[in-house]
Amino acid sequence: MSARTKARKRALDILFAADVRQIPITESLAAEAGRAAGEPDRETSWLYARDIVDGVVENFAEIDETIETYAQGWSIARMPTVDRALLRIGVWEILYNDEVPSGVAIDEAVELAKTLSTDDSAGFVNGVLAKVAQQG
């Protein structure tokens, strides 16, 4: 598993934890930063995970608006928590991170959805992110 794949999973864990616990994302990020300080061998994945989470926080309203625009008939609140976090990561990578090709961002989000969410989630995540990439 690549360092970026691990970082996406770590960012997902941070966003998911904040959502489920109903705490600010920055609080969840700070808790993970404390754990990361004791794991110098995982520094590469931590740095990109932090970039993702910081990017999502900085562009939160725009990202959620984009998701709701392309998730026809689905509000953010109706989505499974994992899907919501994956879409936020994917939209951030597609629209705000020029280092990641859109196809890679979509594939990574879909793979995580296949293993961590519902049976329908991979197709849903793929469809929303593909629409974002086409318009972005």
Show me where the domains of the chain are located.
Answer: 3-135
Q: What is the pLDDT of residue 72?
A: 87
Q: Provide mean pLDDT across the span 49-78.
A: 96
Q: What is the pLDDT of residue 107?
A: 97
Contacts (Cβ under 8 Å, ≥6 apart) of 122? 110, 113, 114
Residue 63 pLDDT grade (very low, low, confident, very high; cuts 50, 70, 90):
very high
Q: What is the pLDDT of residue 37?
A: 79
3-135: CATH class: mainly alpha
Q: What is the pLDDT of residue 52?
A: 97
Q: What is the pLDDT of residue 114?
A: 97
Over residues 11-28, the pLDDT tens digits come to: 999 999 999 999 999 999
Residue 123 pLDDT grade (very low, low, confident, very high; cuts 50, 70, 90):
very high
Q: What is the pLDDT of residue 38?
A: 79
Length of the chain: 136
Q: How high does pLDDT run on average in the chain? A: 93
Give the predicted TM-score (pTM) of the model.
0.94
pLDDT at 57 over 90: yes
